[in-house]
Amino acid sequence: MRKKVTVVGAGNVGATAAQRIHELGYADVVLVDIVQDLPQGKALDMLESGPVIGSDALITGSNGYEETANSDLVIITAGIARRPGMSRDDLLLTNMKIIGSVTAEVVKYSPDCLIMVVSNPLDAMCHHAYEVSGFPKNRVFGMAGVLDTARFRTFIAQELDVSVEDVQAYVLGGHGDDMVPLVRYTTAGGIPITELMPQEAVDRLVTRARQGGGEIVALLKAGSAYYAPSAAIAQMTEAILLDKKRILPCCVYLEGQYGIDGLCMGVPVKLGGGGVEEVIEITLTPEEQAMLDRSAASVRELVDVMRKNQDGDAKAG
Ligand code: APR
């Protein structure tokens, strides 16, 4: 029997991710959205691509959660996307309400699933989904680091005029502007990039990677990136469904690792059939630790805002 993957949110990121997963061919997909007929229409269109691309996987759309029952993996992309001039943090409270209600439905119908959070601001949304789900920490994680490293790897490969396949990057911390690149572990063909380009170039590429999401938003004008994000989602999905145990940077709930306690942050993990099977820890230099601590502080600020808002909601209710 094929595995079952639910994608919540049939917008740019969700629909493109659903398409990529359907095209892999080894998982049935349910696409969910609140907009009437939208997920049904997109799913039927993708299903009808099956004979051409050679995928026998099923893909269906729904406005409810019954059809999602017993999913192995649920990917949450619902929410509003960033508009020009809007920071990820502006999205906080709107997306928090959406992610909270979606997570509660998901858990009701798929109590044993893994949850991959994609909606922004990513680290805070992952934290919220983790708390609302009540799942163990290996079963709730966020997609951010694979995208951030993909952007960084693209720019490094361009700069060095080498294959993207030979460039590996290592990042920690919050998504995007807050990412902490570990340049000494970022390599081309196994060689640290600091050996291959001047510091000025390293700094320039780090800055561009950190602002990579904003660069796309400014160009698209309406909406944010979705081709690279959906590719990152598909890679993580494959690592899980095929139990590949890949080492990928993911956002996970930390309990003391890297000196961070009780917060979801991006770290390298072993990702396989059990979700986050291990957090991989290395010793940081004082400078790297300071950058990571700053990143953690800004995620914690968002989590505190969410907490105050929940308390407010509880009092008002
Ligand atoms: N339940 C299900 N779907 C919802 C809900 C909800 N409660 N609220 C909104 N949606 C749907 C919208 O109807 C829309 O189809 O989520 C979809 C979001 O799609 P887009 O607006 O196209 O946004 P997208 O570019 O896909 O980004 C989604 O991913 O990368 C992040 O920052 C991005 O948080 C954003 C998310």
User: pLDDT by residue (tens digit) across 62-111?
Assistant: 999 999 999 999 999 999 876 667 665 678 999 999 999 999 999 999 99
116 & 157 share domain: no
* 7 close to ligand 1 (CB < 6 Angstrom): no
Per-residue pLDDT, 313: 64
- The amino acid at residue 71 is S
226 & 160 share domain: yes
* 98 close to ligand 1 (CB < 6 Angstrom): yes
* 116 close to ligand 1 (CB < 6 Angstrom): no
Q: How far is CA 213 from CA 129, 150, 176, 311, in A?
A: 22, 12, 7, 32
Q: Where are the beta strands (DSSP E) in 73-125?
A: 73-76, 114-117
Question: Which residue ranges in the chain fall short of pLDDT 70?
Answer: 82-84, 86-89, 312-317
Q: Is the bond into 136 cis (omega within 30 degrees of 0)?
A: no
117 & 10 share domain: yes
The number of CA neighbours under 13 Å toward the Cβ of 97 is: 6
> Average pLDDT of the chain?
94
- The amino acid at residue 245 is K
Q: What kind and span of H or E run contains 158?
A: helix 145-160
Last residue of a domain, one of 142, 162, 185: 142
- Which residue's CA is minimally distant from atom 25 of ligand 1? 12
Q: Give the structural domain span for 274.
A: 145-301
* 279 close to ligand 1 (CB < 6 Angstrom): no
In a domain, 309, yes or no: no
CATH number for the domain spanning 185: value is 3.90.110.10
103 & 22 share domain: yes
* Interacting residues of 44 by C-beta distance below 8 A, sequence separation 6+: 61
Please give the distance, rounded to the nearest whole angstrom, from the Cα atom of residue 10 to the centre of ligand 1: 7
Q: Measured between alpha carbons, how far is 240 from 234 in angstroms, rounded to an integer?
A: 10
196 & 121 share domain: no
- Helix residue ranges, H only, 161-285: 199-210, 212-220, 227-241
Last residue of a domain, one of 94, 113, 142: 142
91 Cα nearest atom in ligand 1 = 34
Contact by Cβ (8 Å): 129, 99: yes
In a domain, 207, yes or no: yes
Number of domains in the chain: 2
- Which residue's CA is minimally distant from atom 30 of ligand 1? 119
Q: Measured between alpha carbons, how far is 134 from 137 in angstroms, rounded to an integer?
A: 9
* 107 close to ligand 1 (CB < 6 Angstrom): no
The pairing of beta strand 187-188 with beta strand 167-168? antiparallel
Whole-structure pTM value = 0.96
Please give the distance, rounded to the nearest whole angstrom, from the Cα atom of residue 77 to the centre of ligand 1: 5
> In 195-220, which positions are buried (b, 16+ CB within 10 angstroms) versus exposed (e)?
ebeeeebbeebbeebbebbbebbeeb
Q: For the segment 57-68, what is each residue's pLDDT rounded down to a tens digit?
A: 999 999 999 999
* Whether residue 127 lies in the annotated active site: no
Q: Measured between alpha carbons, how far is 269 from 253 in angstroms, rounded to an integer?
A: 11
Q: Measured between alpha carbons, how far is 168 from 185 in angstroms, rounded to an integer?
A: 8
In a domain, 307, yes or no: no
Please give the distance, rounded to the nearest whole angstrom, from the Cα atom of residue 119 to the centre of ligand 1: 7
14 Cα nearest atom in ligand 1 = 26
Per-residue pLDDT, 223: 85
Read off the DSSP letter of residue 223.
S
Q: Which of 237, 220, 227, 212 is nearest to 15 (CA)?
A: 227
**C-alpha torsion sign, points 135, 138, 139, 145:** positive
In a domain, 239, yes or no: yes
* 39 close to ligand 1 (CB < 6 Angstrom): no
